[in-house]
Structure 1
Amino acid sequence: MFKRIAFLCVLLSGSCLLHAQKKKKPVAAQQSTTTVQTDRTVWVNNLYKIVYPVIHNMAEGTLKQNLPLELGPQYYLPVKKVTYLEAVGRTMAGVAPWLALPDDETTEGKMRMQLRNELLKGLRNAVDPSHPDYLNFRTEGQPIVDAAFVAHAFLRAPKALWEPLDSLTKRRFIEEFKSLRNRKAAYSNWLLFAALTEGFLLSIGEQYDPARIDFAVRKMKEWYVGDGWYSDGEKFSMDYYNSFVIHPMLVDLLKILVEKKMAQQQEYDLSVQRMVRHAEFLERIISPEGTFPVFGRSITYRTAVFQVLAQVALMEKLPAHVAQAQVRGALTAVIDKMFTGNQNFDANGWLVLGFNGHQPAIADQYTSTGSLYLCTLGFLPLGLPASHPFWTDAAAEWTGKKAWKGEPVKKDYKVEY
């Protein structure tokens, strides 16, 4: 890119790339993650590096021009009709809590402000039918999925991303969301996508489809199999979709319903308990080296595997025996290992198909470059300010690290709720 401008920088040194006139590789964050001061730096630098190409090109009106169209084996979707909305929705859903923090004059604060301003500009382009970067909500099934991630971002950061939009842009988004109703969601986690978009419309006082919401909530109750796990449809699959989609969207949908007095508080509380239990599993699967098991569908979503753990931390709902600092340490190790190097980025800073490097054979037949930006969902705790104990508590080792050192760890048992 010829406008890699400002703020792709290392916070500790304060050095920035201002008004760069030619392509440059992203500046790597400092490798050490052994002090409290550097953990947030690692997160901020890497999230910025991931989302900058999407958000900056949205603002410039060059997203469709510059986003690579790399496809998984036997890819079967019309890529130009779906991948751009995938990139936008998934980027937004993960970056939203961070962008919702108040402005300040720190280097991080300036990075946030730049991204927020560019994203708001890009969102106007995204629903302007006359703009080259107008996104497709109107045809194909896939937009049901990625419209939900856009809606999730608006729910996570209403004052930063929804309220500042002009009235015409808001009306256009509402119309695009409603246009999804002429297609049905697959009988799986997709039910939550259709429901969450309707839940957002409900939350802003717009006409909504209660049947889509009710059907999704009822099916998720039926598909709960116990111990913090839902089945994705009638048959259980051992993969990470409980974290990619099911727990976060169900909990946030029920929150809206409780606020609108359309669901009971205990129903929401139970769903949160189940999500917290699932977060315990995710914390335990992180190895002492910051790696985690590579199995199941959509493993190219990388750090989205940890959305549930990240959201539970953001909600300040971690169980008493799981310290905030140990979650910070574990996720920092994962993020540092996966993104501080450039193995997961191409020469222009876009994510490449793969898990930890360019590994196109591991991509699914529905995966394209835009799909990969779901990885931002692992960064949700950046919505906690730098002064929060999650960031300031003294470093603590996580379960996997303590267990493999022979130190005491809490025994794990199933739960009955």
Structure 2
Amino acid sequence: MIYDPARANPLFGNPLKTRDDLAKAVTDLFEPLLPYFSEGGARVRLGAAGAIFDRAAADLEGFARPLWGIVPLVAGGGAFPHWDLYRRGLANGTNPAHPEYWGDLADRNQRLVELAAVGFALALVPEHIWEPLDDSEKKTVAAYLLRARELEFIDNNWKFFRVLIDLGLERVSVAFDHPKTLAYLDELEAFDLGEGWYRDGPVRRVDHYIPFAMHFYGMIYAVLAKGDEARKDRFRGRAEIFASDIRHWFGPDGAALAFGRSQTYRFAAGGFWGALAFAGVEALPWAEIKGYYMRHIRWWSAMPIADRDGVLSVGYGYPNLFMSESYNSPGSPYWALKFFLPLALPGDHPFWAAEEAPQPEFPEPVALKPAGMVAMHTPGNVVVLSSGQQHDKMLGANEKYSKFVYSTRYAFNVEADDRNFSAASFDGMLGLSDDGVHFRMRETLEEALIAGDLLYSRWRPWSDVTIETWLLPENPWHIRIHRIATPRALSTIEGGFAIERADFNADRSDVGDGRAVWYGQTDVSAIVDLSPNRRAGHAMSPIPNTNLIHAKTLLPQLRGEIGPGTTVLVTAAMALPSRENWAKALDNPPAYPRLDEVERLFREKGVQVPAFALGT
């Protein structure tokens, strides 16, 4: 039998239209894990690949993360027949004398992350996971959780994990010192950037941790915490404001913007919409919230995201370790089950009763000032220009945070070989080399500004090379202006959008002086040089498995050389589905912009991007 990756997806064939469909989805996602539970129930080992933490912590991850879906399913009246397995595992995993003990706790340790799911379960469904335990088991579990909450959590969204553990302990009447809880809550609120956005710690970036962690846990606290009404109102109020911005990270087909780290958590990105419902925050009409929520899970139901046995893989649109993080174990993807939080709500809740509404139309660019982004809604896609954020301590950080443009339809490529300049993608990016082998691209920034719907950044690929980049929306195109000051000659490659590649070389390309176009079976992608001295067009076939959505892609590029001194490169890029009027757009690229006028606008109206200002 030929392997059908779509059928391996546990969501395959589920219409995902109703609350009952989503309840079935939780069960279907969990059941492939049953063969991998240890005899004592505490360990779930799903593969041989490793992470930066030890195997016991990874096995705990496999045990705990499914609870994010199981708990709301049961809280809302759904059936889950394996509570005996979870109770046994919880008792054994926290028992130092048991062979399946999860291991001793320590500061900033992965176990602290996973115990938040246990706290969530204790808080919401103690009758299933706590009350049937005997007194000795309760004492053992409580001791482990109390030890965890005394330790140091990383200075970012991790601080919510102590809060969640404490919500569970409070629900089951285990005493603890509340000042530590309040201290972390106060520190979390200090991450508020304004306009509904948070920072995820003292860092110069925002990403999906803002919706699926900071806001998500804040909404849980707003519902489950006793008292603290003013803080809970602030959490709800920020989420209400944030919804109007984060909707521009979702395409009309339900795809989320692939941007930043931890993309393997997949449909956790849609958990924000469910958290609004859970907390009763009608930030948009319920019909619109439900539309964003349901379209998202349906998009994922068509993707080959599981292995042959139905276990979710590390990867994004398909199994892919190129884009994974050092902290991704085989159990990591099950944070995706955070998506199912609104199953805790009754079926007559306005969220479930609403008819899905389509995404509204946004004909004009939308500035997302706190993030330093500008969103353009194009047919079947949302294109997001980015002034540049940064994360310089992880694999693929440049690609995940520092490209000029991201897309819900085309995602992005990661570079597979940093010693092969001519084979690099540089989709949505400008790559430079001074030896024809190694290369640099935008990474960390010296400055990031926004002026209306225009963006600016200054960056140094080498200490003696300065590049200023301006980004201008021209729907469906966007324009990139680069002013490069270099003391030596450099080779350059700049890429457009990566689109899916067909088998049997069925796609065709058109390249020439200052222009490259790929005509794929589903999409057309083009890049045009608007500079006076035009670069050469190049039809690139990137290294397989480098794009997050498609294993094989096509990419138009511009390639050229620049000499010592100051050079200005001006680029226009766009991509459209083949069913759209791409020919008209291709025949009408943007005009060469007046750089002096753009500079004047930034002198008069440019302000520092709040996300970039972090830590200054």
Q: TM-score range by the shorter chain?
A: 0.7 to 0.9
Alignment map for 1:2-151 (pairs within 5 Å): 29-30=12-13, 32=15, 38-54=17-33, 57-58=36-37, 61=40, 64=43, 66-71=45-50, 75-78=51-54, 80-102=55-77, 109=78, 112-116=79-83, 118-129=85-96, 131-136=98-103, 138-139=105-106, 141-151=109-119
1:189 maps to what in 2? 157
Does the CA-based 8 Å contact 2:197-2:210 persist in structure 1? yes
Q: Distance in 1 between matches of 2:305 and 2:361?
A: 25
The residue type paired with residue 113 of structure 1 is: F
1:287 partner SS: coil
Write the distance in 2 (CA, Å) between the matches of 1:247 and 1:269: 13
The 3-state SS of whatever aligns with 2:289 is: helix
Match of 1:336 among 286, 292, 298: 298
Higher relative contact order (CA 8 A, sep 6+): 1
Q: Which amino acid aligns with 1:331?
A: Y
Residue 213 of structure 1 pairs with residue 181 of structure 2: yes
Distance 2:18 2:302 in 1: 12
> 1:121-270 counterparts in 2 under 5 A?
121-129=88-96, 131-136=98-103, 138-139=105-106, 141-181=109-149, 183-253=151-221, 259=226, 261=227, 263=228, 265-270=229-234
SS at match of 2:322: helix
Structure 2 counterpart of 1:326, one-letter code: E
Aligned to 2:358: 397
1:313 alignment partner AA: A
SS state of the match for residue 252, structure 2?
coil
Q: Deviations over 1:195-232 (max 9, x none)?
A: 33234323433232334312212212222110111111
CA distance in 1, matches of 2:200, 2:115: 20
Amino acid at match of 1:138: L
Q: Which structure has greater helix proportion?
A: 1
Deviations 1:303-340 (A, max 9, x none): 11222221111233223x422x3333332222122135
Distance 1:164 1:276 in 2: 39
Partner of 1:49: helix, strand, or coil?
helix
CA contact under 8 A between 1:61 and 1:125: conserved in structure 2? yes
Residue of structure 2 equivalent to 1:371: 332
| SS of 1:114 mapped into structure 2 | coil
Partner of 2:250: 286
Q: Is the 8 A contact 1:199 1:213 kept in 2?
A: no
Residue 303 of structure 1 contacts residue 375 of structure 1 at CA under 8 Å; is this kept in 2?
yes
Structure 2 partner of 1:8: none
Could you tell me which residue of structure 1 aligns to residue 318 of structure 2?
A: 357
Q: C-alpha distance in 2, partners of 1:153/1:93?
A: 8
Do the aligned residues in 1 keep the contact of 2:223 with 2:279 (CA within 8 Å)? no
Give the structure 2 partner of residue 17 of structure 1. none
1:134 aligned partner, one-letter code: Y
Once residues 168 and 42 of structure 2 are traced to their aligned partners in structure 1, the CA distance between those partners, rounded to angstroms, is 26
Task: Tell me the distance in 1 between the aligned counterparts of 2:126 and 2:279.
Answer: 16
Is it true that 1:298 corresponds to 2:298 in the alignment?
Answer: no
SS at match of 2:193: strand
For residues 221 and 382 of structure 1, the distance between their equivalents in structure 2, rounded to whole angstroms, comes to 28
1:42–1:335: 8 Å Cα contact kept in structure 2? no
* Matched-pair identity in %: 24
Q: Secondary structure at the match of 1:188?
A: coil
Q: Distance in 2 between matches of 1:54 and 1:167?
A: 29
Contact 1:29 1:42 in 2 (8 A): no
**Deviation string, structure 1 residues 250-297 (Cα, Å, up to 9, x no partner):** 44446665x2x5x3x222211111123333434443211111110112
Distance in 2 (CA, whole Å) between partners of 1:400 and 1:366 is: 38
Structure 2 segments unaligned to the other structure (5+ residues): 1-6, 364-376, 381-616
- 1:362 Cα deviation after fit: 1.1
SS in 2 for 1:369: coil
Higher Cα radius of gyration: 2
- TM-score, length basis structure 1: 0.75
Q: TM-score, normalised by structure 2?
A: 0.53
- Contact 1:286–1:330 (Cα < 8 Å) also in 2: yes
Deviations 1:56-76 (A, max 9, x none): 6548546747521334xxx43
Q: Which has the higher strand share?
A: 2
Closer, same or farther: CA 369–271 of 1 in aligned 2, 3 Å: same
Displacement after TM superposition at 1:128 (Å): 4.4
- The amino acid across from 1:235 in the alignment is V
RMSD over aligned CA atoms reads 3.1
Structure 1 unaligned blocks of 5 or more: 1-23, 103-108, 407-417
Structure 1 partner of 2:343? 382
Contact 1:148 1:193 in 2 (8 A): yes
Instruction: Give the conservation status (yes or no) of the 8 Å contact 1:55–1:118.
Output: no
SS state at 1:172 partner = helix
CA shift, 1:349, in A, is 2.1
SS of equivalent to 1:362:
coil
Q: Provide the residue aligned with 2:240 in structure 1.
A: 276
Q: How far apart are residue 97 of structure 1 and its match?
A: 1.2
| Structure 1 Cα separation of the partners of residues 157 and 255 of structure 2 | 26
Contact map agreement 1:25 1:347 (CA 8 A) in 2: yes
Quick one: structure 1 residues 283 and 322, their matched pair in 2 at CA, closer, same or farther if it must change by over 3 Å?
A: farther
For each residue in 1:9-56, what CA deviation from the matched residue of structure 2 results, as whole angstroms up to 9, or x when unmatched? xxxxxxxxxxxxxxx9566543656xxxx4335423332222223466
